[in-house]
Amino acid sequence: MRALAVLALIPLLVACSTAKPGGPPLAENPATGTDISGRWTGSWVGTGLFNAVRQENLLLEVAQRGDAGYGRMVIDGAAAAESVPWQVRQQGLGGIRVFATISGSKVKLTHERDDRIFSADLTVMGDQMVGRVNGRDVRLLLARQSQPQNVAPQAAQAVPQMPPQIPVASEPVTPQPELAALAPQPQESDKPQSGEPAQRPRNEDFVAVPELKPIYFDFDKSALRPDAVDALTNNTTWLKENADALVLIEGNCDERGTAEYNLALGDRRAKSAMDYLEANGIAKDRLSTISYGKERPVCTENTDECKNQNRRAEFRVKTR
């Protein structure tokens, strides 16, 4: 009987020894979705001050393996963008580490640690990728710039170490140690345009008058606070009563951040005040702005109250 049992098992043993494994290794499974590996550039489009549309330059670099990808997203100028959430601003310049899950033409892009910080649903259409940031009225518009072939697994680890080279940036960003997120270069929209009033008028031609009160801003903000609106309302009344007065609005910042960043922020603060005055009946040809950044503090003590006094816009006038 034992001999018969052994003879019966021989065909089974032969079959098992010649059978192939049940499939290729997991790493070799083909991707279930579109290939998004490579570099994408485009815009983060949202609304800022006075619900005005703002576009922040965006760079996305992804290394993909199968239906998953890993890389970074760099937002140029994020630290000053009202449409960008604060936690995204803090990481946007150095590059936000993101994961991508690809299913067909659909891409789910999330922050590597917490999708509450950042999450977006995108759709790939050829060399275009568009979608919205979850929980915010923000659109992402991207176009493919390059597509590496046969991306190796270690490429996903190499992507985050690449320096954030944004084509539109005029100079490299140099973050300060205590404010790593507050060292962006000014956007094109922050730079003086040829059709706008001169940014460096002769300051000695303008004088301060006690009727025009300065306005103050929150840290890293150019949005008008309620107390600033009250002061601007009174300033508007005085300017309407003195129609021959030309106005110079001076934007200022506290000492934190780079000189370049504060010049751009001071410019935005001055223009916020100018936009309010113009919207309330003051002719644009009477208004001009200048930014001193952190060059002209009114207080030099290292206190919060002192810093509050330095985040301001002041008003000077001269007769036509």
**How is 211-259 classified by DSSP, letter by letter?**
TS--EE--TT--SPPHHHHHHHHHHHHHHHH-TTEEEEEEEE--S-S-H
Lowest-pLDDT range of 41-55, 271-285, 305-319: 41-55
User: Does the CA dihedral 96-97-101-102 come out positive or negative?
Assistant: positive
Domain extents for the chain? 38-149, 188-319
DSSP string, 1-53: -HHHHHHHHHHHHHHHHHPPPSS--GGGSPPSB----EEEEEEEEEE-GGG-E
pLDDT digits (tens, 9 = 90+) for 129-170: 888 888 777 788 888 886 544 444 333 344 444 444 444 444
Q: Place 58 in a pLDDT band, splitting at 50, 70 and 90.
A: confident
Please give the pLDDT value at position 43.
81
Q: Place 49 in a pLDDT band, splitting at 50, 70 and 90.
A: low
- The label of the residue with tokens 């952190």 reads 294
- Helix residue ranges per DSSP H, 65-192: 86-92, 155-158
CATH topology (fold) of 38-149: Porin (2.40.160)
Q: By three-state DSSP, how is residue 309 classified?
A: helix
Query: Looking at the DSSP assignment, which residues form a beta bridge with residue 76?
Result: 57
CA distance linking residue 49 with residue 51, whole number of Å: 5
Q: By three-state DSSP, how is residue 289 classified?
A: strand
- State both tokens at 296: 């002209």
Q: Which CATH class is domain 188-319?
A: alpha beta
Of residues 269, 262, 257, the one with CA closest to residue 296: 262
